[in-house]
Amino acid sequence: MNDLHEVWRGVLKIVEQTMPRKVFVTWFQHTAPLSYKDTVFTIGFPNIFTKEWVEKRHVSQIHDALKMNFPDLTKVDFIVDGALANSDDMRKVELKDEPVKKMRKVSGGNELSFGDGLRSRAFLDRYRLDSFIPGRNNRLPFAAAQAVSATPGGIYNPFFVYGKVGLGKTHLLQGVGNQILKNHPDKIVVYTTSERFVNEVVEAIRTRHMKEFKEKYRRADCLIIDDIQFFGEKTSSQEEFFHTFNDLYDTGKQIVISSDRAPKELESMDDRLTSRFGMGMVVEVLPPEYETRLAILQNKCMEEGVIIDSEVLACIAYNIEESVRDLEGILKALIAIVKLNNTTPTVEMVMEHIRQLHKAISVREQFSVQPHASAAAQHLTASAAARNFVRNVDTFMRVVADYYRISKQDLVGEDRRKEVLVPRQVCMYLIRVAMDEAYEKIGADFGGKNHTTVLHACNKIEKLLQTDQRIVRDMTLIKEQLGIVS
Most confident range (mean pLDDT) of 30-44, 226-240, 463-477 is: 30-44
pLDDT given at position 159? 93
One domain for residues 210 and 192: yes
Which of 48, 70, 85 is the endpoint of a domain? 85
User: Rounded CA gap, 284 and 61, in Å?
Assistant: 36
Q: To the nearest whole percent, how much of the chain has pLDDT over 70?
A: 85
Instruction: Please give the residue that has the higher pLDDT: either 79 or 344.
Output: 79
Q: The CATH number of the domain where 324 resides is what? A: 1.10.8.60
Phi, psi of 276 (to 5 degrees): -70, -35
Burial label, 42 (beta-carbon count in 10 A; 0-12, 13-18, 19+)? middle
Q: The CATH number of the domain where 222 resides is what? A: 3.40.50.300
Measured torsion, CA atoms of residues 395, 396, 402, 408, in degrees rounded to the nearest 10:
-80
Residue range 335-361: mean pLDDT, rounded: 69
One domain for residues 195 and 73: no
- pLDDT for 8-48, tens place per residue? 988 998 888 877 777 787 788 889 999 999 999 999 988 87
Q: Residue 199 domain-assigned? A: yes
User: Strand 159-162 relative to strand 254-259: parallel, antiparallel, unpaired?
Assistant: parallel
C-beta separation of 152 from 184 below 8 A:
yes
pLDDT given at position 438? 87
Q: Residue 269 domain-assigned? A: yes
Residue 115 has pLDDT above 60, yes or no: no
* Nearest residue to 154 (alpha-carbon basis) of 254, 260, 297: 254
One domain for residues 131 and 214: yes
> Range with the lowest mean pLDDT among 114-118, 182-186, 188-192?
114-118
**pLDDT band at residue 383 under the 50/70/90 scheme:** very low
Task: Render the burial of 282-308: b for 16+ CB within 10 Å, e for the rest.
Answer: bbbbbbbbeebbbbbbbebbbebbebb
Q: Residue 324 domain-assigned? A: yes
Q: Count Cα atoms within 13 angstroms, Cβ side, for 157.
A: 21
**pLDDT band at residue 360 under the 50/70/90 scheme:** very low
One domain for residues 353 and 396: no
One domain for residues 142 and 265: yes
State the sign of the Cα–Cα–Cα–Cα dihedral 106, 111, 116, 117.
negative
**pLDDT band at residue 357 under the 50/70/90 scheme:** low
C-beta separation of 222 from 191 below 8 A:
no
**pLDDT band at residue 417 under the 50/70/90 scheme:** confident
One domain for residues 55 and 69: yes
* Nearest residue to 464 (alpha-carbon basis) of 454, 472, 456: 472
- pLDDT for 237-277, tens place per residue? 888 889 999 999 999 999 999 998 888 888 788 888 888 98
**pLDDT band at residue 161 under the 50/70/90 scheme:** very high
User: Rounded CA gap, 376 and 382, in Å?
Assistant: 10
One domain for residues 278 and 138: yes
**pLDDT band at residue 356 under the 50/70/90 scheme:** low
Q: Residue 101 domain-assigned? A: no
One domain for residues 138 and 64: no
One domain for residues 266 and 120: yes
Which of 66, 85, 104 is the endpoint of a domain? 85
Which of 338, 361, 384 is the endpoint of a domain? 361
Range of the domain at 336: 290-361
Residue 375 has pLDDT above 80, yes or no: no
* Nearest residue to 288 (alpha-carbon basis) of 157, 171, 394, 393: 171
Q: What is the DSSP letter of 129?
A: G
Q: Residue 379 domain-assigned? A: yes
One domain for residues 9 and 158: no
pLDDT given at position 188? 87
Burial label, 196 (beta-carbon count in 10 A; 0-12, 13-18, 19+)? middle
Residue range 348-353: mean pLDDT, rounded: 74
One domain for residues 188 and 310: no
User: Rounded CA gap, 316 and 16, in Å?
Assistant: 30
What element of type H or E holds 17? none
Residue range 161-187: mean pLDDT, rounded: 89
Q: Residue 93 domain-assigned? A: no
Q: Residue 99 domain-assigned? A: no
One domain for residues 119 and 204: yes
State the sign of the Cα–Cα–Cα–Cα dihedral 302, 284, 322, 325.
positive
Burial label, 223 (beta-carbon count in 10 A; 0-12, 13-18, 19+)? buried
**pLDDT band at residue 461 under the 50/70/90 scheme:** very high
